[in-house]
Amino acid sequence: MLKKMKKCMAFLLILCMAVTATACGGNTDNSAAVNENTASSTDANKNTDTDTNTGSETDENAASGEELPRFKILFAYQQYEDKLGGEFKSAIQYLCDAYNCEAVFYESGSGDTAVGNLESVLTAGDIDGLISVGFDTARMEVASKYNVPVVLACGFPSVEAEVSGITSYDLFLGGVTDSDYRAGYRAMESLYEAGCRQVTYSGLSAGFAKSHDDRTKGVMDFLEANPDMILLADSYTMGKASEDIPTFNASFPEIEGMAFTSMSDALYNAIESEDLADGSVKIAGVDISSKTGEFFERGIQVWGCGGQYGTAMVSWAILYNYLIDGTRIISDTTTPIERDYLEITTYEEFEDFVKYVGVSLPVYDAEEIKELIHYFNPDITYEGYLSHAENYTLQDIIERHGDKIND
Amino acid sequence: MDNSAAITRESEENQRIQQDLDRKAKSKNLLNIIIPYIGLGFLFVFFIIVTQGKFISTINIENLITQSFSLTIIAIGASFVYAHGGTDFSIGATCGCAQLVCGLLIVSGYPLWIAIAACILVTILGASATAGIALGLGVPVFIGSMCVRTTFNGILQYVAESGEVVIDYKQYMFMNSTYLKVIILVVFLAVGYYLFNYTVFGKYNKAIGGNPVTAVQAGVKHKKLIFAAYVALGLCVGVAAVFTLFRTGKVTGTTGSGVEFNMMMAIALGGFPMRGGERSRLSAAIVGAVTITVLANGLQLWGLDPATINCVKGVLFVLIVALSYDRSDGKLIS
Amino acid sequence: MGKELLLSAQGVCKAFGPTRALIDVDVDIMRGEVRGLIGENGSGKSTFSSITAGALKADTGKFTLKGNAYSPQNMVEAQSGGVSMIIQETGVIPGINVSSNIFAGRLDRFTKMGFLDWKKCHKAANEALDKIGAPEIRGEMMIDSLNFEDKKIVEIARAMSSDPDLLIIDETTTALAAKGRQLIYNLIKQMREANKSILFISHDLDELMSVCDTITVLRDGVIIDTLDKENMSIELMRDLMVGRELVGSYYREDFDGSSSDEVVLEARQISLRPYFKNIDLTLHKGEILGLGGLSDCGMHEIGKVLFGFEKTLTGEVVLTEKGKKVDSTTTAVTHSIAYVSKDRDKESIILNSSIQSNIVLPSLRRFSRFLGFIPRKSESGLTSAQIDQMRIKCRNGKQLVKELSGGNKQKVVFSKWLGTEADILILDCPTRGIDVGVKADMYKLMMQLKKQGKSIIMISEEQLELIGMSDRIMLLKDGSVTKELMRSKDLNEREVINYII
């Protein structure tokens, strides 16, 4: 009896310790993140002679004497351990810090867990707005119940019923997505331009995400329009693209080009181990990782694209517009604003990409984002967003940030 | 030969020691039952404190009810299956497939009651197949359930590949009413408790879990009863599936995945003996299901960042299972 | 006498949960002494022998062996210290040869640089087998090819191979036939002559009296007395074991084996591969029909088929009155047939369930009301009635069966079936592993049932029991009936044995 009692006490004690430890850990995490961001911006600023962004911004605020209202903005993504998740977190945190907002991140989950998670997070309280990657009518209903406006980022529902469901809510402000169709199309096109006529494609299972479905559609449409390009094989297994490489290679030694709906370090490693790195096979795909440069240098990769987190920043701007003075940029919420990916085709472009699209300074800095916000730029309109989207190229970013980032 | 009198059982000293041992045995059993409740109580108190009372605000209580609904209903059915020492890995797949059928029927314009009936029929069909394969072919039920799982998953993914099935969420929002869910929960709990503890159905299943040979030698039609337990589980999964569909408004390729693992977690967490038998208690499964929900809800409410949430979930699970897990008969999968 | 003290146990206590198996036990065994240890099941004798042999650890108390402190961590340690034990159940490791069994856990003495020298090992094994008088068993043989008795002999060789100072024989002889028993008696003589000691546990009081120098009596975990050769007598031993005087005869008093002509159960040409074939059997009302033979003669399986637990390949089992075929246990139980299996712990009871759950199980169908509801009163009522009637030693109906002694467990099994008010009872080894006192109660119970007009089939490997209790005996060998005998005063064991081996 005594032994079991002791066990009970120990259990409660460990519980307390574990929970308090993680709580403290959690807090230091957040503060560390904040410090990181301010540190990096000050680092960047230290190297310039002109006034720094954050510096000038606070000066401006101090000068105008008004303090921006504090909003609590919630961001939803599937998980923050992957590269894109990290970029999202960084970029959104950056914008929120610059504009006196509190950023809250949570993992969306799937199925009915997604609905439950949103319910709980919103109950925690005081959320003023939600930016979500992936959404559905059920969650819109929850958001509406808690009076939270919603903007979508990097994804938009594909099913008609879902779209009409979500857009029927007044608090739905619209969405901003990446032109996945074009990405798929361009991937195939670049392989074609590199001389490949026998190709393979590794996609993701249909229905899993609209973004991937659209890329697949782009790929297939290009193939249809160019019958002299032959698709030797395609596969749609979730997350196992790196296994396609040895399989395809074994079955089709005549492969000239391989396209992927999503690139990753694992993929590059697989290509390496299959000895395809000698340049006989060309590759193209979405998402740029650390190894991409190497493969461009060796002439294996001919096309890549990335920079999705910029889209999330635009979504943030749309939300902020509504929060600060009720401006609704998008009047017809059934159509998302489409933005191109940042495409790279050479090693030099890769280097530029890493330098300028890395998160030391996000693609839109705190000052530049003002262009999209009615409160600071009363002339901004929906059309303005469209042309702003059109200008989203690597070149544009280099022009804007060239002197703000030094090696 | 008189020393026997001095040390016979009847002496006070020995009687006291015997009573002591008896009491220790009883309290050990009691502790096994209580620990999951202590764990749950602790979580409640803890979350109330760190969320400054938001945890028990009306809206969160409502949330807790809707969030725990599925798993609790399933736990009721699962109790019968686990009581006889069975398990079922297919319920996630049948749940997803059932929602698929239900969703398709609704989208095609069939009346609601037909779609609901079909949904429950699918899960019962899946459960019957699992039990049928195992009992008919004489293989472990684990294998039967994996067969069903692969088949139903295959169907679900094949159909979902051509696109998600989306229903008109707003039209069926009344199915999300908390009152409705509470009523159904109460009914299922009452009926489940009654069947489990007061009828032949429950007692026979516990007997089979205790010793299947003895049960058969006592005249128990064990195949019929095992089958019935799976049907009961299938029914509960069906009801959970219906309400999950209306809660999410759609069916995707991953709908229903993970349900069976949540069910097993609930069973283990609540202190339900893994091998079943007489010590199976319906309340154990319920406590487990509620604990899981409370944990997920509370952690999210507390506002920790996502990585930390996963970490804490893992640690707490391990701790609570280590203490609640009923080791009387060992095996996790029979 | 001047005999030297070999083993001394002082103040040994052991409890299993709430069950106290040994309370302050003191035992002194001299060199060259053959000490008998008797007691009812649950008295603690197996616990004591297990502790002495290193299979269990005592809670408190100490042992001294050959003058030094003795506390083995396991049986291998005990064996190297000079204490070996042989037991009643099968204790060999299947699938390997005899030599590996004999030297199990000690094979490193034949191993050089990771290689096992089989020649050396077999030679040593054969020497050990020769020493105990079993030249027909050789080390190279596979253990699975031997029958039960020879397997036991291998175990004896294992125990003796380390030349122990103390050999513990825990109810081994009860499981053996003539050859095995004789081998053990020779062994005991050998040991005594070599000034080694024996601790001999058995239920056979005659055997003990002829073999042992002294006999210690245990009851309820406590030493009652130790009897010298002069004081030994069967009646005294029985009384000390039970704690009360046993009145009347052990088995039946009458020799009238007749019974009604009315047939209640009939088996026509039933077979079950590979156990038995084409068996005919009729059971009359109020009859006690005994089935006897060696353990592998097929009689146990006949019991299972009669009950519907196994399906017969040919023929059928029929309940004569209604003409109903018995093809499942459900049919059997609903038509008032009861079955007590010989594997008590594995088949007859649910160890982890309460006494109540066990007792009410076959009667639940009878109790169930509207919508399958079982009133609590029915369950608890039946349970307390049976606990009282059978005098089951327990805390209450909620106690788990696994905490009970063997005899009380069997009482629970009987209660279970009495509770169904069965008319036909198939009892397979109903008194195996039960102490004298409960055994006597069982026999009385069987007579009571007979008088009430119930019919009993008793399957038993104990010839004395069959002769003592049956109206009619069917003897089996290798799956067929060899002889049918009627109850008679002149029936004796030797005659019966002729027909079964």
Q: What is the pLDDT of residues A253-291, one digit of tens each?
A: 888 888 888 888 888 888 888 776 666 788 898 888 888
Round to whole Å and give the CA distance between A257 and A219.
13
| The C337-340 sheet, strands edge to edge | C337-340, C424-428, C455-460, C288-292, C472-477, C480-486
Mean pLDDT, range B204-224, rounded to an integer: 94
Question: Based on the domain organization, do A74 and A157 belong to the same domain?
Answer: yes
State mean pLDDT over C163-173.
88
Domain boundary at C397, C420, C443, which?
C420
| C242 has a chain B CB within 8 A of its CB | no
Q: Note whether residue C250 is domain-resident.
A: no
Domain boundary residue, one of C385, C420, C455: C420
Positive or negative, the CA dihedral B34, B38, B39, B43 is: positive
- The dihedral region occupied by A198, where left means phi > 0, alpha psi between -120 and 50, and beta the remainder, is beta
Chain B closest CA to A260's CA: distance in Å?
Answer: 19
- Find which of A276-280, A359-363, B41-45 is predicted with most confidence, using mean pLDDT: B41-45
Chain B, residues 106-145, CB within 8 A of chain A, namely 107
Q: Which of C20, C329, C350 sits opposite B21 (nearest CB)?
A: C20
Q: pLDDT at residue C2 above 80?
A: no
pLDDT (average), residues C100-118:
85
Residues C373 and C491 in one domain: no
Under a CB-based contact definition with an 8 Å cutoff, are residues A105 and B309 in contact?
Answer: no
- Percentage, residues of chain C above pLDDT 70: 96
Which of the residue ranges B156-170, C85-99, C265-279 has the most confident prediction, judged by mean pLDDT?
C265-279
Same structural domain for residues C70 and C148? Answer: yes
Position A199 in a domain: yes
Interface test mutation site (partner B, options A11, A169, A204, max chain B beta carbons within 10 A): A11
With contacts defined as CB-CB under 8 Å, which chain A residues touch B296? 113, 116-117, 120
Compute the average pLDDT of residues B54-61.
Answer: 92
pLDDT band at B70 (very low <50, low <70, confident <90, very high): very high
Same domain flag for C24 and C152: yes
Q: How many Å apart are CA C478 and CA B56, to the nearest integer? A: 74
The tally of domains found in chain A comes to 2
Instruction: Indicate whether C76 belongs to any domain.
Output: yes
Pair C292, C228 in one domain: no
In a shared domain, residues C19 and C146: yes
Q: Are B203 and C364 a contacting pair at CB < 8 A?
A: yes
**CATH code at C181?**
3.40.50.300
With respect to residue A5, please indicate whether it lies within any of the assigned structural domains.
Answer: no
Residues A154 and A34 in one domain: yes
* Distance separating alpha carbons of residues C53 and C77, to the nearest angstrom: 9
Cβ <8 Å between C350 and B328: no
Which chain C residues are closer than 8 Å to B219 by Cβ?
Answer: 329-330, 332-334, 362, 365
Separation of alpha carbons A74 and A104, rounded Å = 5
Cβ–Cβ gap B70/A112 under 8 Å: yes
Q: Please check whether residues C364 and C285 belong to one and the same domain.
A: no
The whole-angstrom distance between C33's CA and the closest CA on chain B is 22
Q: What is the ipTM of this complex?
A: 0.85
Least confident of A102-106, A137-141, A400-404: A400-404
Domain B54-324 classified CATH 3.10.450?
no
Pairwise CB contact (< 8 Å): C18 & B9: no
Comparing alpha-carbon positions, the chain B residue that sits nearest to A14 is B319
Whether A162 and B302 lie within 8 Å, measured CB to CB: no
Closest residue, chain A, to B53 (C-alpha): A124
Give the one of A114, A120, A138 whose C-beta lies nearest to B169's C-beta: A138
The pLDDT, as a whole number, for residue A6 is 57
A210, closest residue in chain B (CA to CA): B163
- My answer on whether A174 and A187 are in the same domain is no
Q: Are A117 and A266 in the same domain?
A: no
Segment 147-166 of chain A within 8 Å of chain B by CB:
158-162, 165
* Nearest-CB residue to C353 (from B17, B210, B217): B210
Per-residue model confidence as pLDDT tens digits over A307-344: 889 999 999 999 999 999 898 999 999 999 999 898 98
Q: Is A26 on the interface with B (CB under 8 A)?
A: yes
Q: Which chains touch A (3 or more CB pairs under 8 A)?
A: B
Same domain, C219 and C114: yes
Whole-angstrom CA distances from A148 to A135, A322, B306, C113 are: 14, 11, 21, 76
Predicted confidence (pLDDT) per residue in A108-121, tens digit? 888 888 999 999 99
Cβ of C374 within 8 Å of Cβ of B8? The answer is no
pLDDT (tens digit, 9 = 90+) per residue, C17-56?
666 788 899 999 999 999 999 887 667 888 899 899 998 8
The 10s digit of each residue's pLDDT in A68-81 is 899 999 999 988 88
Same-domain status, C407 and C440: no
* Alpha helix segments (H runs only) across A255-337: 265-273, 292-297, 309-325
Residue where the block lists tokens 């960084």: A90
Give the lowest-confidence range in A3-7, A365-369, C31-35, C149-153.
Answer: A3-7
Find the closest chain A residue to B262 by CA distance.
Answer: A113
User: A-contacting residues of B 1-40, CB under 8 Å?
Assistant: 24, 27-28, 31, 35, 38-39
Provide the domain limits for residue C397.
Answer: 350-420
For residue C372, the chain B residues in CB contact (below 8 A) are 195, 199-201
- Which residues, at least 6 apart from A380, have a Cβ–Cβ distance to it below 8 Å? A329, A371, A372, A373, A374
Cβ neighbours of A105 in B, within 8 Å: 305-306
Contacts of B74 (CB under 8 A, 6+ apart): B91, B233, B236, B237, B240, B259, B262, B263, B289
Residues forming beta bridges with residue C282, ordered by sequence position = C266
Which of C388, C420, C452 is a domain's end point?
C420
Q: How many residues comprise chain A?
A: 407
Residue B293: predicted pLDDT: 92
CATH number of the domain bearing residue A332: 3.40.50.2300
Please identify which residue in the block is written with the tokens 């190497």: A294
Cβ under 8 Å to A: B residues 82-111: 107
Among partner residues C339, C353, C374, which is closest to B217 by beta-carbon distance?
C339
The size of the A-B interface in CB pairs under 8 A is 159
Claim: this prediction has a pTM higher than 0.90: no
- Contact between A353 and A394 under an 8 Å Cβ cutoff? The reply is yes
Task: Classify residue A356: in a domain, yes or no.
Answer: no
Contact check, Cβ <8 Å, A206/B247: no
CB contact under 8 A, C353 and B8: no
The band of C493, judged by pLDDT with boundaries at 50, 70 and 90, is confident
pLDDT tens-digit series, residues B321-333? 776 666 554 433 3
pLDDT band at C461 (very low <50, low <70, confident <90, very high): confident
Chain A residue at shortest CA distance from B36: A8
Mean pLDDT computed over every residue of chain A:
80
Interchain proximity B25–C18, CB inside 8 Å: yes
Asked if A22 lies within 8 A of B311 by C-beta distance, the reply is yes
Residues in chain C: 501
A168 with A269, same domain: the answer is no
Q: Residue A61 — very low, low, confident or very high, per pLDDT cuts 50/70/90?
A: very low
Q: Is A144 on the interface with B (CB under 8 A)?
A: no
pLDDT at site B3: 41
* DSSP letter, residue C461: S
Cis bond before residue C274 (omega within 30° of 0): yes
Examine the pLDDT at A10 and tell me if it is beyond 70. no
Same domain for A240 and A122, yes or no, is no
Provide CB contacts within 8 A for C288, sequence distance 6+.
C446, C450, C455, C456, C458, C469, C470, C471, C472
Largest CA distance in chain B: 93
What is residue C399's predicted lDDT score, i.e. its pLDDT? 87
B-contacting chains (≥3 CB pairs under 8 Å): A, C
Number of domains chain C contains:
3
- pLDDT at residue number C257: 75
Angle at A265 between CA A264 and CA A269, to 5 degrees: 125
Who contacts C50 (Cβ-Cβ below 8 Å, separation ≥6)?
A: C56, C85, C170
A34 interface with B at CB cutoff 8 Å: no
What is the rounded distance in angstroms from the CA atom of residue C128 to the CA atom of residue C122? Answer: 10
Q: Do B18 and C374 touch (CB under 8 A)?
A: no
Q: Which residue has the higher pLDDT, C108 or A184?
A: A184
Would you call C108 helix, strand, or coil by DSSP? helix
Do B319 and A14 make contact, defined as CB atoms within 8 angstroms? yes
Q: Does C113 touch chain B (CB under 8 A)?
A: no
Residue A49: inside a domain: no
Residues of B in contact with C224 (CB under 8 A): 4
Tell me what pLDDT residue C458 has.
Answer: 95
Does the residue C342 lie in any domain?
Answer: no
B177 and A CB contact within 8 Å: no
Q: Are residues A293 and A227 in the same domain?
A: yes
- Please tell me if residue B237 touches chain A, with a CB cutoff of 8 Å: no
Nearest to C186 by CA among C198, C174, C201: C198
Q: Does A12 touch chain B (CB under 8 A)?
A: yes
A63 within domain boundaries: no
* C-beta atoms surrounding C269 within 10 Å: 13
For residues A259 and A300, membership in a common domain is answered with yes
Q: Do B63 and A137 touch (CB under 8 A)?
A: no
Residues C50 and C159 in one domain: yes
Give the Å distances, CA to CA, from A383 to A319, A331, A336, A346. Answer: 17, 11, 13, 32
C104 close to C93: Cβ distance less than 8 angstroms: yes
**How many Å apart are CA C42 and CA B102, to the nearest integer?**
61
Q: Containing domain of residue A244, as a range?
A: 181-306
For C368, the closest of B1, B200, B211 (CB atoms) is: B200
Judge if C317 and C450 occupy the same domain.
yes
Query: Inter-chain contact C23–B7, Cβ cutoff 8 Å?
Result: yes
The verdict on A192 and A295 lying in the same domain is: yes
Measured in degrees and rounded to the nearest 5, phi and psi for residue A178 equal: -95, 145
Do C and A touch (≥3 CB pairs < 8 Å)?
no
Q: Do A328 and A380 reside in the same domain of the chain?
A: yes
For residues C229 and C318, state if they share a domain: no
Between β-strands A172-178 and A337-339, what pairing exists: parallel, antiparallel or unpaired? parallel
Considering only CB atoms, A22 lies closest to which of B38, B167, B312, namely B312
Same structural domain, A113 and A33: yes
Q: What is the mean pLDDT of residues B145-170?
A: 88
> Could you tell me if A295 and A284 lie in one domain?
yes
The nearest alpha carbon in chain B to C416 belongs to B218
Distance from CA of B312 to the nearest CA of A (A): 7
